[in-house]
Amino acid sequence: MTSQTPVDALSVRGLTVTIQQESQHLRVVDGISFNLRSGEVLALVGESGCGKTKTAEAIMGLVPRDSGVVQATSIRIGDTELAVMPEAAMRQIRGREISMIFQEPLTALDPVFSIGSQMSSVFRRHRKQSRTQARQSSLEMLASVGFPDTARVMRSYPHELSGGMRQRVMIGMAMACKPRVIIADEPTTALDVTTQAQVLARLTDLGRKTGTSILLITHDLGIVAQYCDRALVMSKGKIVEEAEVKQLFTRPAHPYTRSLLAAAAGIND
């Protein structure tokens, strides 16, 4: 490597998640390695149950203790090694260096606090802003994720917003600390197609503008084609193919990728 080579935003080596089920150990993530380059949108694509969410939770340090054991040779954000990091230090990294956007934003938003208060608290806690500054930052962030009436959104409670609006709020909160990496786990699966497109466009535009790298988890090859630069194809806990998106669609190398493409095109053979 030369000195001009930019450090990857996220580098994962030998990541394994083992789940204890009855008397069996299931390797739901099985020794995967990949790099998320600076500024790119990287898809992690594969069928339901192949281990995508467990991969995301493992990187975030969010696999519940009783639901799986995480092992990794290395998980690095830039030069920071997360694989050996104690939970107290991980809490500082989450939100500041790496944020996650979940499939269902209602579970991530607190129903009893207004959007403004939840968003401001991110700026106050992580960016050490005053109440007034945090309010101003929140208004600006809401505008950048496409809300024209930011003051009204600030006063709203989560249940008063549509699914697409809530997901845009979550993008704003995830972006609040200008993290190096965002992991978005099927962020638009619960939304209708038009809203899906708006939310994904906001997310990927904002990522490209701010230099935040995005790992976009999806089972939808249409989303991969439209919004991602490269893709990792996952099957049964392993990464079976890694390719530029153009190449993935024109010259899929792995039989599993070809079957995914065929299934998406409605070909039964």
User: What count of other Cβ atoms lies within 10 Å of the Cβ of residue 261?
Assistant: 15
Smallest distance, Å, CB 142 to Mg ion? 28
Distance CA 202, CA 26 (A): 37
Looking at the Cβ atoms of 17 and 122, the one nearer to ligand ADP is 17
Q: Which is nearer to ligand ADP, 52 or 76 (CB)?
A: 52
Which helix (H) or strand (E) segment holds residue 110: the answer is none
The site partner of 67 among Mg ion, ligand ADP, none (C-beta below 5 to 8 Å per kind) is ligand ADP
Count Cβ neighbours within 10 Å for each residue of 29-56 and write b for 16 or more, e otherwise: bbebebbbbbebbbbbbbeeebbbbbbb
Site string for ligand ADP, 45-84 (x = CB under 6 A): -x-xxxxxxx------------x-----------------
- Nearest-approach distance from CB 128 to Mg ion, in angstroms: 34
Q: For 63, which DSSP code?
A: S
- Where does this chain bind Mg ion (CB under 5 A)? 52-53
Q: What backbone torsions phi and psi does residue 30 show, to the nearest 5 degrees?
A: -120, 75
CB of 103 to Mg ion, least distance (A): 7
- Tell whether residue 28 is a contact of ligand ADP (CB under 6 A): yes
CA–centroid distance for 228 within its chain: 13
- Contact residues for ligand ADP, defined by CB under 6 A: 19, 21, 28, 46, 48-54, 67
